Amino acid sequence: MGQSQVPLFLSLILVLIYGVSSTTFTILNQCSYTVWPGLLSGAGTPPLPTTGFSLNPTETRVIPIPAAWSGRIWGRTLCTQDATTGKFTCVTGDCGSSAVECSGSGAAPPATLAEFTLNGAGGLDFYDVSLVDGYNIPMTIVPQGGGDAGGVAGNCTTTGCVAELNGPCPAQLKVAATTGAEGVACKSACEAFNTPEYCCSGAFGTPDTCKPSEYSLFFKNACPRAYSYAYDDGTSTFTCAGADYVITFCPSPNPSVKSATKEIQPEAVSYSAASSQNASPTLTTVFLIGVLGFASWAVLRVW
């Protein structure tokens, strides 16, 4: 079975371990199949308490986020663990760590990305859903409880891509798990063709020279608020301040997603008790200290 939702008291302990959190991310799986979120912190930003986990259908995970964090979140699909070697791999969004935790590695494209820079310029959070590296799963970001920052306006808009694009994906971009099978992901034109005009590189490395292509317009027409190519900033980056964020996979139940994945989606990976014995001693010690601290606080509250 997948990992269960983090209890409230454990979330409080994680806040103690990783510092005071100004934001929480609630990651929700509304797909009809298991999704394995991956999380990557940007260079020079604090690490998160997890870099990867499983979410069964309807399951939720709440994660405390350090102040001024930047990074990305994505969903891995069609994941399995080799019964002999223990190696963990995913058909889409794989991070190459051979484990459920991505441990500092990013998603192999194509993958739908939720990108964040918290407490950036003007004290605003900047966020977007990007299809620049392709698409593998519907995803939205919904801010909750945010507003302006010191007089600087934030629009706190919901963004994302709710459309199912693996089926209608152009043949040149389509990724299938096996030859002749249904599509499970949709490449970007840059990944598919690796040419400067599609990758916005070389002579096409500026907004004036790199324009939308028929392939980026396929993504943009389906998901107008999502990044579709490198210079799509004007309609795809959003700002807010003081908000928490809900990141949802498959935000709108889509029968075509269920039918396309029904035959090939694996069961959630199970983990043995032996694997839990390999947990970091340092983290275990910190965890116990956190538990004791929490218990002491609760006693003082009673008195």
Q: Measured on CA atoms in the order 253, 232, 131, 127, is the torsion positive or negative?
A: negative
Residue of 241, 35, 294, 14 whose CA lies nearest to 119: 241
Residue of 112, 139, 40, 52 whose CA lies nearest to 88: 52
- Report which of residues 265 and 87 the model is more confident about: 87
Tens of pLDDT, residues 30-85: 999 999 999 999 999 988 999 999 999 999 999 999 989 999 999 999 999 999 99
Q: For the purposes of burial, counting CB atoms within 10 Å of the CB of 194, is it exposed (0-12), middle (13-18) or buried (19 or more)? A: exposed
Residues 76, 90 contacting (CB under 8 angstroms): yes
What angle in degrees, to the nearest 10, is found between the helix axes of 8-18 and 281-302? 110
Model confidence band, residue 174 (pLDDT cutoffs 50, 70, 90): very high
Q: For the purposes of burial, counting CB atoms within 10 Å of the CB of 302, is it exposed (0-12), middle (13-18) or buried (19 or more)? A: exposed
Place of tokens 């699909």: 77
Place of tokens 């600087």: 152
Residue of 114, 122, 115, 113 whose CA lies nearest to 147: 122
Q: Which amino acid is at 182?
A: E
The Cα–Cα gap between 39 and 44 comes to 15
Residues 27, 60 contacting (CB under 8 angstroms): yes
User: What integer pLDDT is reported at residue 46 of this predicted model?
Assistant: 87
Residue of 203, 194, 173, 201 whose CA lies nearest to 185: 173
Model confidence band, residue 212 (pLDDT cutoffs 50, 70, 90): very high
Predicted TM-score of the model (pTM):
0.77
The Cα–Cα gap between 172 and 264 comes to 22
Residues 115, 107 contacting (CB under 8 angstroms): no
User: What integer pLDDT is reported at residue 15 of this predicted model?
Assistant: 43
Q: Provide CB contacts within 8 A for 286, sequence distance 6+.
A: 17
